[in-house]
Every structure is written in structure tokens, then in C-alpha cells.
Amino acid sequence: MEISVRTGDTLAYLSELFNIPLQLIIDSNPDINPAAIKTAEKIQIPGYVSVPYTINQGETFEKIAVSKGIKVDSLLLLNHTKDPAQLEIGERIFVPEKVVVPFSPVKTPLDFKRLVKLINNLKRVYPFMKVKTIGTSVLGNPIHEIRIGKGDKKVHMNASFHANEWITTMALMSLLNKYLLSITNADMIRGRKAVSLYEEVEISLVPMVNPDGVDLVLNGPPSQLQTELININEGDDDFVHWKANIRGIDLNNQFPANWNICRENKKPKAPASRDFPGDEPLTEPEAVAMAELAKNNHFDLVLAFHTQGEEFYWGYEGLEPTESELLAIEFEKVSGYRAIRYVNSHAGYKDWFIQEFRRPGFTLELGRGINPLPLSQFPNILSRAEEIFFLALDY
């Protein structure tokens, strides 16, 4: 919500007026000097929207404030051009309304376009959330990274490496939305104030690593690539089970962690709907973007959201640190997912992260069944992923 400051307003006063932590207001206005706010300067207030309201007979700002559970001065601030003593029936004013419910979708799959719309809506309400492009897909779609928090501890999570696992993007965005709500509404997370986690942890999220592939699964092929993609898909024009990127490369087989073994073990030797690791590691722009993200940041922990199996993998070639096992025990306890240390798999993002940085990395296999998992599983997937999500921030 955007407001225009009046003479004498300070960020500290606005924090008190709207019951929003001062640091969130500062972080939502990075170009504002808190010590030298100018009259009429525009300030973003996180966690609020400005809602039109029509004056009824006998209403005053005081009565409206009481009915809405807000302070009178918040109405005066949003409607500073109006005379509160001269309100007329039918006149429209604006009322600050705190956002207390999520608006991430739980019934509609997120393709790339809907994801961008959701990110923009969240950024509008929570302007302390930072969004940047870390790379582009084969078809030129931006790969977004979302950052939240101030702390030295850095936790990274990603989703939709695999196209037919698009439900992981829904899960990660829903968890993000809940975290944002918790921060601005002074909620508790695992017995701690959410805003204290914001101060101690910086979280990095890439909600859709493979936007081209997700769009292919959900919306069908681009007309200019239809023939080529049907050929890669063994003549089938149904792409619902497609796992790879748009070039038929499995992005989670693209990383230089025993990639040669992966290439030898995988059945496809050419572009396919799944499992083909490419002709070399890191040939695909999506995989390159994810590798560069990890190289340029000191992530303490990485979680890769996949489906399915209701289990997670936490080791690689004995290179994982001791704390990985401690985390695995806790993740298993809170989620009910089975902890598996080693599987006969190589060249995955988690594998490479552990090999490259010797820090904890986890591949989470959400839900159970055949990919893509049905939306009927989403509530259960979300509740169990939530336990791991918040434990990862608070470990």
C-alpha cells in the first residue's frame, strides 16, 4: 500500500500506526532515507492494501476506524485531501486493510504466466521481497529468484526442475505466501516470532526452474515447435508426462557430479521426454543459471522440491557434512517422509551442491503416485512440506 507522508511523519511512527515492524518498512523503501523523509514522499507500507469505501449515513472517521479495528490517523493519512468533518453520504474514501489470508492458488496449476502474475501480486503487497532474474530458459522465459530476509544464514529452495512436477511450484509459492503473512502479522513459527527469522535468515527461492517444460505440460507445445516436440515425444502429442526442458534434456541430470556415470546409466541417448542428460554437463541455460546461483552465493542449505515418493535424499558419495544427518533425522520426524541417504543417482542439483560445497543438500520427493500428481493431493503435500520448510529456516 502506498501512502504520501505528511509533515512530521516518520518511518517509526508509520510502523506504530500500522503495527508493522520498522525494519520491514525500511526494507520496503530502499531508496528512502529514513532520517530525511520529505513531505509528500511516497512510502510503501507492507502487508496492507488500500480498499475503496463508500460513506454511509452518520458515519465518521472515528466510527469507521472502530468498525474496522484501525486507528483514525491511518484514515486521515490515506484521505488527507478530505475534510473529516464534511463527509457526505455516498462519498468514496480509502481504508487501509491488512492482508491476513493468502492469495496463492491452491486449485489451479501455475504455468509461467500465472506464476509471474502471482509474484507481481506478492511483490506489490510485500515490497520488502526482492525479485530478480537469474537467467532465461531456452525459449527466453525469465527464471526468477525471490529473496526474503536479512540474516547471515542463507537457505535456498527450488521447484519444477521437472516439467511434470509443476505441483512443486504451487507448494513453494504457497509456503512463501504463508511466510510473508506470518512476518507481517506478527505470527509465531515453531515458537518464535516470524520476524525474528526474517532478521536471522535470508531465503532464496527459485519457484520454476523449467518454465518452458511446465508450460508444455500444462498448455501444450508452441506451434513452431509442435512437430519437433512430437518427434522427441515418440510421436505422441500428449505431453502431460513430459519431464525434460523444451529441448528434451533432463535438467536434473545436467550437473557435473559424476555426469559421465549418469550418461552411461540413462537409457535415452538422444533428446527425450525424460532422463536424457545431454551431450555434456551444463549445456542448458536453466541448469547454468542454477549452477551460477549457487556459485555466487554462500548457501548453507539447499532444498530441491520434486515429486513423488514421500521420501527425501540427503547424501552423496560420502561428501555430505555431519549436520546433514542431524537435519535428515529432524526432517523425517516432522514430515513423516522417509530419509534415504544414498541412491544410485548422479548429476542432480543436490548431488552437485554437496560435492561442490560440502554443505547440506536435500532432494524432497513430495506426494505419492504417478507424475503429474493430482491436485487432490495438494493439501497433504503442502502440510508436510510446510514442516520441512519452516524447520529449514529454524534449524
Positive or negative: CA dihedral 372, 113, 363, 392: negative
Backbone angles phi, psi at 176, to 5 degrees: -60, -45
Q: Which of the listed residues 98, 130, 165 is the one where a domain comes to its end?
A: 98
| Strand 201-206 to 153-159 pairing | parallel
Residue 192's pLDDT is: 93
DSSP-derived pairing of the beta strands 2-4 and 42-44: antiparallel
* Greatest pairwise CA separation for the chain in angstroms: 79
User: 341 in helix, strand or coil?
Assistant: coil
The parent domain of residue 168 ranges over 112-213+280-394
Q: Coil, strand or helix: which one is 196?
A: helix
pLDDT of residue 298: 94
> In this structure, what C-alpha cell is assigned to residue 56?
454511509
Domain assignment of residue 301, yes or no: yes
- The amino acid at 236: D
Q: Dihedrals φ, ψ of 22, to 5°? A: -55, -40
Instruction: Indicate whether 83 and 196 sit together in one domain.
Output: no
Res 81: pLDDT? 86
**Residues 193 and 287 both lie in one domain:** yes
pLDDT at position 295 over 80? yes
Domain assignment of residue 253, yes or no: no
Whether 302 and 378 map to the same domain: the answer is yes
3-state secondary structure of 177: helix
Q: Is residue 59 part of a domain?
A: yes
174: domain CATH number is 3.40.630.10
Same domain? For 181 and 309 the reply is yes
Do 290 and 196 lie in one domain? The reply is: yes
The total domain count for the chain is 2
Answer whether residue 120 shows pLDDT above 90. yes
3-class DSSP assignment, residue 103: coil
One domain, residues 29 and 163: no
CA angle centred on 78, ends 84 and 21, rounded to 5° = 130
Q: What is the pLDDT of residues 351-387, one digit of tens each?
A: 999 999 999 999 999 999 999 999 999 999 999 999 9
Residue 251 lies in a domain: no
Q: Any idea what DSSP says for residue 37?
A: P
Claim to verify: residue 44 and residue 173 sit in the same structural domain:
no
Residue 107 has pLDDT above 90, yes or no: no
Question: Would residue 52 count as lying in a domain?
Answer: yes
291 and 366 part of one domain: yes
Q: Would residue 257 count as lying in a domain? A: no
For residues 215, 220, 225, 227, the Cα torsion angle rounded to the nearest 10 degrees is: 150
- Mean predicted confidence (pLDDT) in 301-329: 98
Tell me the Ramachandran region of residue 58: left when phi exceeds 0, alpha when psi lies from -120 to 50, beta otherwise.
left
126 and 44 in a single domain? The answer is no
Q: Judge contact between 139 and 246, C-beta under 8 A.
A: yes
Tell me which of 145, 286, 320, 365 is the catalytic residue. 365
Calculate mean pLDDT across residues 71-99.
94
Sequence-distant (≥ 6) Cβ neighbours of residue 209 within 8 angstroms: 143, 158, 159, 160, 161, 251, 286, 290
Out of 74, 98, 122, a domain closes at 98
Task: Show the cell assigned to 225.
Answer: 515447435
Task: Check whether 106 has a pLDDT greater than 80.
Answer: no
pLDDT higher than 80, residue 123? yes
Helix (H) or strand (E) holding 391, with range, is: helix 378-394
Same domain, 292 and 159: yes
Residue 372 lies in a domain: yes
Instruction: Note if 365 is an active site residue.
Output: yes
What separation, in Å, do the N-terminal and C-terminal C-alpha atoms of the chain show?
Answer: 33
Residue 357 host element (H or E): helix 349-357
CA 346 – CA 328 distance, rounded (Å) = 20
pLDDT in tens, 25-58: 999 999 999 988 999 999 999 999 999 999 999 9
pLDDT in tens, 250-269: 999 999 999 999 999 999 99
Spatial separation of the C-alpha atoms in residues 338 and 328, rounded to whole Å: 9
Same domain membership, residue 316 and residue 197:
yes
Residues 6+ apart with CB under 8 A from 326: none
Question: Which of 168, 166, 177, 165 is CA-nearest to residue 119?
Answer: 177
pLDDT number for residue 105 = 73
Distance CA 75, CA 3 (A): 11
For residue 104, pLDDT beyond 90: no
For residue 363, tell me if it sits in a domain: yes
Distance from C-alpha of 160 to C-alpha of 214, rounded to nearest angstrom: 7
- Per-residue pLDDT for 128 more than 90? yes
Q: Which of 30, 65, 98 is the last residue of a domain?
A: 98
Q: What is the CATH number of the domain that holds 76?
A: 3.10.350.10
Whether residues 76 and 133 share a domain: the answer is no
pLDDT given at position 75 = 97
Question: Cα 130–127–8 angle (5° rounding)?
Answer: 135
Indicate the pLDDT class of residue 103, thresholds 50, 70 and 90.
Answer: confident
pLDDT at residue 226, rounded to an integer? 98
**If you average pLDDT over residues 333-341, what whole number do you get?**
98
pLDDT exceeding 70 applies to what percent of the chain? 100
Residue type, 388: I
Q: Over the Cα atoms of the chain, what is R_g?
A: 24
